[in-house]
Structure 1
Amino acid sequence: MINFGGIFLNKKSLYFMICLFLVFSLFTYFNTFETLESNLQDSLLRSNKNKQIDTRVVVVGIDEESLGQIGQWPWPRSVHGALLNTISQGSPAVIGIDVIFSEPAPDPEEDAIFVDAVKNNGSVVIPVYGIFDETIKAEEMKTDELMEPFPELKEASVQGHINTIPDKDGVIRKTILHFDYQGEKIESFAWTLYKKYMEQHGQQPNIEDLPLDAWNRMLIDFSGKPGEVEYVSYASVLSGEVPPEYFEDRIVLVGPYGMGIADMYLTPLDHGTPMHGVEIHANIVQNLLNGNYKRSASFFVNLIILIVFSIFSYYFFRKYSPGWMFVLLMSVIGLYIVIAKGVYEKNIVLSIAYPVLLLIFTYIFAIAFRYIQEALERKRVTEVFGRYVAPQVVEKILSEGKEGLKLGGIRKEISVLFVDIRGFTPLSEKAEPEEIVEILNNYLNLCVESIFACGGTLDKFIGDATMAIFNAPLNLEDHAFKAVQTAWRMKEGSKALKEKLLERYGRTVEFGIGVNTGIAVIGNIGAQVRMDYTAIGDTVNTAARLESNAKPGQILISQATYEKVKDKVDVTPLGEIKVKGKEQGVPVYQLDGIKE
């Protein structure tokens, strides 16, 4: 199995993991991917099937039916007074009206009826609205402007603000519990309703006990989707269809509940269907009644999770192949989401996006680095071993892996070229050993360049001789002609070297070349600990014999080779020659040139 974590076997992998950890730590601290994180948290909230609607809270909706019966909005305030008087007969715990009455009515009598109804009930909460500067910062939740009820209503009622700050995607996920107005703490509409209810039941809730962020906001643990809160029509209460006793000891919220009055917002439970503002207040009150205070895990806790995931990535990504690593990756992500969901139900909100993204990014970069490293390693191996064996053989071994290193071979038609240097021994007597090596290297370089230029495979050096094969290991079209072309390139390329040697030493050398075509066994020949990729058989032996019979500067090709290239070359038939190991003569041809 290929080691998946090759990049993790050196210090660079550790540095990479540390850098990635630091980057995601900063992402977590600044909540860079806030919308993604929020959407993942929304999915946890939607998956919680244990939510129940609290029957202590009921909404009286200003709905389409009420608008049809009572008339166009806004209604006379005497209508609201009549509603309050009707509900009050049932002894509700507290009533909240989610409508701002900032200006007196044109008819003072209307206001008087409404204010008297508020006074008679004794526990009516009316909303206020703070006007904030757009540049407001966290921990500075204060304002000098407040939209309040007209004076008589303000004096008769209790107030709570209805401000909210949607997230960047327009979804309401948190509620502002309080802000500062000219040194006075203005508590929220929902909190004020909840506090009045608890006080009537002998308890004194403290807003400071709630898990608030720097903006004095609390996460809302919604109990139901839009339309699921308990609700009755405003008109049905006025008509007596809903009796006053229905509201006994309950928290009653009155507010817009129809399309005719726009007061709707998106919530985590349903990004497609908006929820009425009065419903959101009802959900917040239920949240407070049930004590479902979701607390975001601290940065330190999320940092510990990132550390654990970083260590996991570092130690486990080097043990598996990409396929198995993907399975492990998905398993770990799935397990973490299950844990996060379980912790969420215990009212602790863990970060999901950043640990998961850390794992995914590490996996992606690990694969990318792995392939880059393999490519660099393949290039290095090819460059290094290409100096000892043919590049085609290196590529074959790299592509086939262990299979490419098995002993054995296949029968295949190939062309074989042998070339030897004539006159090398007399020359070596006149030159220094270092010069001899330089001369030999120059000639062998010419041989190798000629072989590679024509697509051949360098098989081996045998002293000052060279063997090359064509059509193995890679198939080579018209391999016989390629072998002949190689021989001719060697002959032509040696002219410059001959002149140089003649000028320097007064002696020169020539090539003797033999080319043959036929069937041979191609493959890894040798022992398990030392093998060569080569060709064996009579075809190879005959090529070697032709080379040994070639005179200095002569190229001999066999009958089999000639038949394949006769239309492309100029030759001189030499008849049959006797070669060692064969009883019958071998027809040979002298190569005189390559036709245009």
Structure 2
Amino acid sequence: MSEGDPAGAEPAQPLQQRAARIVRQVGAPRLLVSAIVLLIGVFIARFSWQVPLISDAERALYDIRLMLTTSRAQQDPRVVMITYTDDTLINTQVRSPLDRRILADALKNLDKLGAKAIAIDIIVDQPTPNDDYLVDAFRSMKTPTYLAFTSAATNGRFIEQRQEEFLRDFQAKIRSSTVKPMSIELDTDRDRVVRAWPVQPKTLPPLLARAITGAQDNFDGYTRSIRFRLPLYDDRPVFSKLPIDLLANPDTAALMADQIKGRYVLIGGDLLDLDQFETPMKVITGDTTIGLEVHAHMLTQLLDGVQYGRIPRWGLWLTALLVILAGTLTALSDARAWKVALMLLGQAVFFSLLPFYLQWQGTDTRFLPAFGWSIGWLLAYSAIGAAARAVGSQQRRFAQSALGKYLPRDIASEIMRDPDRLALHGEKREIFVVFTDLEGFTKLSHAIPPETVASLLNRYLDTLSDVVLKYGGTIDKFVGDAVVAFWGAPISRPDDGERAARAAWAMYEAGEAFRKDVPEGVPPIGRTRVGLHWGEAIVGNFGGEGRIQYTALGDSMNTAARLESANKPLNTKVLASKAAVERSGLDWWRPLGRITLRGRATPVEIFEPVPEATAEERAYLAMLLKRTDQNDSKAFEELEKFASTNVRDAALANLVYRLQHMEPGGSYDLG
């Protein structure tokens, strides 16, 4: 033993041995359930972006990752946005379609200011009085200019077929070597957030970013994440923005020359209720983003040649399996608590930071199942941990019961000295069995809150358990509010009969004290009924080595339970069989005749303890019953008179009633 090991500590089992033992002991049904849970965990750890609800969490985590790892940028000198604002609509008194004269004037002035290229994110899909004026402006353009185009087939929510036809005709009128169409369509995820470059249909012209730069190959087919950038300073956005009113006026437009010359000019709307999109930037800014600015981010991404890397499918599968393996191994580990804590912390840090690291390094973590990893890990840990705990708890339950929880201290101590005294294989023993039940508790449990039920039941069972252990009994089991106990195993003693009898009466008295001491507002609780019997039973371990449960099986257990149930129709408190009474060594029993228990054919002589009665009273009742069995009518009359003088003795009145309805020397059938 090393100096650091506590005395008596057992060495930890190798992981493979622990796993093999769990597989052997846990059983096929639980193994099957665990395997199914593990498969579900693998599926979620790989495909969580496709799982409802979980996918929402994945998108939110992605947005956080992207914004926390994105670069803060100075204002980009290559792009300028010229926008229609709500003030523009007020000044022009035209809302829809947007005023085309002001657009035409702005184009004429921009053409003179030396813009590198112009992209117009406005759909000209219906006629206005200023169309000819706008056509003339387009035809005069010397600067490369691109006008938005979309189709009903690809964007049916916003444009109809007749609008598309007008748009095609208009594009044909203005098309030249410098004026061309472009696509402005954006794709959103299921939560209507723009995160990635759109899939480009072949029926549409090039996307704005590719069209305005003339790119043909660099970003062709790129559909991964958009690189959104945040401003370095709150008062200086990434892209400068000018109202179109300034560019439509020749005098003010001339003052904007330095902000236009050599730049890509993007024209569109910046209106409260038009062309607004949610993007990952909302995590930081809390605001939506106009479509024109989304295109600006894609444009600068293309100009910088920034393409996020792709995670291969095999990498996603490998990581998902690694996550499940980590959860499984952690659940199987029986290392010390501080080592397990370090293991958990290390895994949490690794799997939490890995997505951030990949995103920071330029890998597209969209569709990376970061939240799915945690769920998959938890499922694996829970499934394997539950199986491991099932095995451990089975062993702990028996050890706990055998060493004091269900055994009296003297027996537990003797078993500690001589473990062979505890027969785990099962053996036939003669035992005294006590079975109790709390009258009306099931009905009561529906009338009070669940937490009150739990509190009362735990206190009640603790009270009766203390009585059993006090009198040296073994607690077999709890069945709801019922307590099953026996004397005579695992170790028998000469006075087991007396111990069992005194315990039966003490359990009734403990139940009476319990019912008088309940919280305010709890309805009245019924009395505790008790059955006592002596007979043979098979006592020992049942369930195999993997599930150690020390219990007793046999007809004596059933007889005790039926005696307990007979208390109700007989108006008694504690009923004992003749076999138990004869071996109890006590003289406080009074006979209550013969009955045939439910489901039985053989009559049973029953007795009730009456410690408060005198020996003469008990002997007198026994004599009257013996004479009544011999068909002595005078004896029955004396019994009736005896019962009438004890009007509060319901059990005695019930005895008279039964004798009236049965043949002398017969048995009353409880059915």
Please, what TM-score do these two structures have when normalized by structure 1? 0.61
Deviation for aligned residue 1:36 = 2.4
Tell me the SS of whatever aligns to 1:207: coil
Q: What are the superposed Cα offsets for residues 433-462 of structure 1, whole Å, 9 maximum, x if unpaired?
A: xxxx98xx4xx33x2447999844327645
Q: For the residues of structure 1 that align with 2:280 and 2:307, how far apart are their CA atoms?
A: 16
2:330 counterpart of 1:302: no
Tell me what 1:270 maps to. 282
State the Cα distance separating 1:37 from its structure 2 match: 1.8
- For residues 179-328 of structure 1, what are the structure 2 equivalents within 5 Å? 179-181=201-203, 186-193=205-212, 195-196=213-214, 205-208=217-220, 212=222, 217-224=223-230, 228-239=238-249, 240=252, 242-259=255-272, 262-270=274-282, 272-319=286-333, 328=343
Correspondence for 1:335 among 323, 345, 350 = 350
- Which amino acid in the other structure matches residue 352 of structure 2? I
480 and 278 in structure 1: CA distance in 2 versus 1, 3 angstrom threshold: closer
The 1:109/1:151 distance shift into structure 2, 3 A limit, reads: same
Counterpart amino acid of residue 228 in structure 2: F
Does the Cα contact within 8 Å between 1:63 and 1:256 map onto a contact in 2? yes
Query: How much has 1:176 moved relative to structure 2?
Result: 1.6
How far residue 157 of structure 1 moved from its aligned partner, in angstroms, is 1.5
Deviation at 1:375, TM superposition (A): 5.5
User: Contact conserved, 1:265 with 1:275, CA < 8 A, in 2?
Assistant: yes
Match of 1:548 in 2: none
Question: Structure 1 192/133 Cα, relative in aligned 2: closer, same or farther at 3 Å?
Answer: closer
Q: TM-score, normalised by structure 2?
A: 0.55
Show structure 2 runs of 5+ residues with no match.
1-8, 157-163, 418-426, 437-463, 474-486, 514-528, 535-573, 588-606, 618-648, 652-671
Q: Are 2:361 and 1:346 equivalent residues in the alignment?
A: yes
2:116 to 74, 93, 116: 93
Q: Could you tell me how far 1:252 is from its partner in structure 2? A: 1.0
Classify the secondary structure of the residue corresponding to 1:286: helix
Q: Using the alignment, how far apart are the partners of 1:151 and 1:480 within structure 2?
A: 97
1:275 deviates by 0.9
SS for the counterpart of 1:89 is helix
Deviations 1:394-435 (A, max 9, x none): 89999xxxx99999xxxxxxxxxxxxxxxxxxxxxxxxxxxx
Give the root-mean-square deviation of aligned CA atoms. Answer: 5.0
SS of match in other structure, 1:254: strand
More strand by share: 1
Please give the alpha-carbon distance, in whole angstroms, between the structure 2 residues aligned to 1:268 and 1:49: 11
The 3 A distance-change label for structure 1 pair 78 and 48 is same
Q: Residue type of the partner of 2:279?
A: T
Q: What is the correspondence of 1:346-425 to structure 2 with a 5 Å cutoff? A: 346-348=361-363, 349=365, 350-366=368-384, 368-369=386-387, 373=391, 392-393=406-407
* CA distance in structure 1 between the aligned counterparts of 2:530 and 2:256, rounded to whole angstroms: 108
The count of corresponding residues between Structure 1 and Structure 2 is 445
| Equivalent runs, 1:21-36 vs 2, <5 Å | 21-27=38-44, 28-29=46-47, 31-32=50-51, 33-36=54-57
Q: 1:529 is matched with which residue? A: none
1:31 maps to a residue whose letter is Q
The equivalent position to 1:131 in structure 2, one of 123, 147, 152, is 152
Q: Shift of residue 392 of structure 1?
A: 2.2
- What amino acid does structure 1 have at the position aligned with 2:208? F
Alpha-carbon distance in 1 for matches of 2:410, 2:349:
41
Closer, same or farther: CA 102–492 of 1 in aligned 2, 3 Å: closer
Q: Which amino acid aligns with 1:570?
A: T
Going from structure 1 to structure 2, the CA distance change for 1:8 and 1:43 (only over 3 Å counts) comes to farther
Give 3-state SS (helix, strand or coil) of 1:295's partner: coil
CA distance in 1, matches of 2:134, 2:410: 95
Inter-partner Cα distance in structure 1 for 2:189 and 2:20: 40
CA displacement at 1:373 relative to structure 2? 5.0
CA, structure 1 residues 568+379, in 2 after alignment: closer, same or farther (shift >3 Å)? Answer: farther
1:161 deviates by: 1.0
Does the CA-based 8 Å contact 2:434-2:530 persist in structure 1? no
Q: Give 1:102 deviation, angstroms.
A: 3.3
**Equivalent residues of 2:116, 2:264 under 8 A apart:** yes
- Classify 1:395/1:153 alpha carbon distance in 2 versus 1 (closer, same or farther; 3 Å): farther
Residues 216-261 of structure 1, C-alpha deviations (whole Å, 9 max, x = no match): x3311211389653212212233416422311221110110122x6
AA of the residue aligned to 2:56: T
Give the whole-Å Cα distance in 2 for the aligned partners of 1:165 and 1:360: 34
2:585 alignment partner in structure 1: 513
Unmatched runs of 5 consecutive residues or more in structure 1: 136-144, 199-203, 408-436, 499-509, 516-554, 556-564, 574-594
2:182 equivalent to 1:110: no
SS of the residue 1:358 aligns to? helix
The answer to whether the 8 Å contact 1:76/1:110 transfers is: no
In the TM superposition, 1:21-100 aligns within 5 A as 21-27=38-44, 28-29=46-47, 31-32=50-51, 33-48=54-69, 50-52=71-73, 53-73=75-95, 74-100=97-123
Separation in 1, partners of 2:138, 2:104 = 7
1: CA distance, partners of 2:416 / 2:398? 23
1:268 maps to a residue whose letter is P
Q: Which residue of 2 aligns with 1:577?
A: none
